[in-house]
């Protein structure tokens, strides 16, 4: 065999090898590589989408936290306002109760003073009558004596 026949057989074998690789190996291998590229691209886009959703979720969580803090502050301010109202109401009620007790005690004192004055008047009148009876027992009759006593009681 000559170099030409060997070269021709090698060229034919090489062409057959290229055709075989292209049909049997290269096509499925290309297809596998394209599928792998597509999966990687899909994974990257899903990761990017997930990252974007995570950012949105973090933003929303911050907003919700901000709203919760504002509501908590509002509740605290309302509670403080209500507690001050309760304290003021209790002060007013305590002052009213103190005034009522004071007025009641004052009225009771006035009644006691009136009773004591009346009792004192009766005792002074009785003593005066007794003294007047002793002094005037011999000089005045009973009717004049009663008139004088009534006059004396009215003066006292």
In degrees and rounded to multiples of 5, residue 87 shows phi and psi of -65, -45
59 vs 119: CA distance, rounded Å: 89
The fraction of the chain above a pLDDT of 90, given in percent, is 49
pLDDT-derived band of residue 137, with 50, 70 and 90 as boundaries? low
How sure is the predictor about 56, in pLDDT bands with cuts at 50, 70 and 90? very high
As a whole number, mean pLDDT of residues 88-112 equals 90
pLDDT at 55: 94
- At 1 the pLDDT is 53
* Three-class SS state of 137: coil
Contact partners, residue 89, CB within 8 Å, separation at least 6: none
Q: What are 107's two structure tokens? A: 């009225």
Eight-class DSSP state of 139:
T
Mean pLDDT, rounded, for 75-95:
91
The mean predicted confidence, pLDDT, of the chain is 86
Q: Is the dihedral of CA 7, 8, 11, 17 positive or negative?
A: negative
DSSP letter, residue 140: S
* 32, two tokens: 């596998």
Q: Give the confidence band of 144 by pLDDT, cuts at 50, 70, 90.
A: confident
Over residues 19-48, mean pLDDT: 89
**Enclosing domain of residue 87:** 3-155
Q: Using CA atoms, how far apart are residues 127 and 132, in angstroms rounded to an integer?
A: 8
Is the pLDDT at 147 greater than 80, yes or no?
no
Is the model's pTM score more than 0.85? no
Structural domain total, the chain: 1
């Amino acid at each position: 065999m000559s170099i030409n026949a060997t070269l021709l057989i090698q060229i034919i074998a090489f062409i057959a090898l290229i055709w075989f690789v292209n049909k049997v190996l290269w096509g499925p291998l290309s297809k596998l590589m394209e599928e792998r590229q597509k999966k990687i691209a899909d994974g990257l886009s899903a990761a990017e989408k997930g990252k974007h959703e995570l950012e949105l979720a973090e933003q929303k969580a911050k907003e919700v936290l901000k709203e919760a803090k504002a509501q908590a502050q509002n509740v605290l301010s309302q509670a403080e306002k209500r507690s001050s109202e309760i304290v003021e109401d209790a002060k007013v009620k305590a002052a009213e109760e103190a005034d009522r007790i004071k007025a009641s005690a004052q009225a009771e004192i006035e009644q006691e003073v009136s009773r004591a004055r009346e009792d004192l008047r009766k005792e002074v009148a009785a003593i005066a009558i007794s003294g007047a009876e002793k002094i005037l027992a011999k000089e005045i009759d009973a009717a004049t004596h009663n008139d004088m006593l009534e006059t004396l009681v009215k003066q006292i």
